[in-house]
Amino acid sequence: METRLLGRTGLEVSLIGFGGIPIQRCNQWEVDEIIENLIEEGVNFIDTARAYTNSEKMIGEALKQWGREHFFLATKTPQLRYDDVIADVKASLCDLQTDSIDLYQFHNAKTMAAYETIMGPGGGYDALADCKKQGLIKHIGITSHSYEVLERALEDDRFETIQFPYNIVENRGAPLFEKAKLSNVGVIIMKPLAGGAFMNADYALRWVAENPNISVLIPGMDSVKQVLDNAKIGNDFVPLSETERQTLEADAKALGKTFCRRCGYCAPCPQGIDIPMQFIVEGYYRRYDLEEWALDRYRSFAANASDCVSCGECEPRCPYNLPIREMLTKTRELFDPLV
Q: What are phi and psi of 21, to 5 degrees?
A: -70, -40
**Taking Cα atoms as reference points, which of 289, 253, 273, 269 lies closest to residue 332?**
273
Domain boundaries, the chain: 3-249, 275-335
**SS3 state at 338:** coil
Tell whether omega for the bond before 212 is within 30 degrees of 0, i.e. cis: no
3-class SS string, 39-73 = HHHCCCEEECCCCCCCHHHHHHHHHHHHCHHHCEE
Burial class (CB in 10 A: 0-12, 13-18, 19+), 25: exposed
Which stretches of the chain drop beneath a pLDDT of 50? Answer: none
Q: Supply the pLDDT for residue 138.
A: 98
**Taking Cα atoms as reference points, which of 189, 137, 125 lies closest to residue 163?**
189
DSSP 294-312: HHHHHHH-SS-GGG-----
Residue pLDDT, tens place only, 232-279: 999 999 999 999 999 999 888 877 767 787 777 898 999 999 998 898
Q: Supply the pLDDT for residue 320.
A: 82
Burial class (CB in 10 A: 0-12, 13-18, 19+), 156: exposed
pTM: 0.82
C-alpha count within 13 angstroms, C-beta hemisphere, residue 26: 25
- Domain 3-249 in CATH: superfamily? NADP-dependent oxidoreductase domain (3.20.20.100)
Q: Supply the pLDDT for residue 93.
A: 98
Q: Supply the pLDDT for residue 149.
A: 95
Q: Supply the pLDDT for residue 25.
A: 77
**Average pLDDT of every residue of the chain:** 93
**Taking Cα atoms as reference points, which of 308, 301, 302, 307 lies closest to residue 324?**
308
Rg (CA), the chain: 20
**Taking Cα atoms as reference points, which of 146, 51, 63, 150 lies closest to residue 102?**
63
Separation of alpha carbons 162 and 151, rounded Å: 10
Dihedral (CA of 217, 222, 225, 227) sign: positive
Beta strands 186-190 and 216-217 are parallel
Q: Supply the pLDDT for residue 287.
A: 65
Q: What does the angle CA 256 – CA 258 – CA 263 come to, to the nearest 5 degrees?
A: 115
Contact 305, 325 (CB under 8 A): no
**Taking Cα atoms as reference points, which of 192, 227, 232 lies closest to residue 208?**
192
Separation of alpha carbons 74 and 47, rounded Å: 5
Residue pLDDT, tens place only, 3-30: 999 999 999 999 999 999 888 879 999 9
Separation of alpha carbons 160 and 157, rounded Å: 8
List beta partners, residue 81. Answer: 123
Give start and end residues of each alpha helix (H) in the chain.
28-41, 55-66, 82-96, 112-119, 124-133, 147-156, 174-182, 201-209, 224-235, 242-255, 275-287, 291-300, 324-335
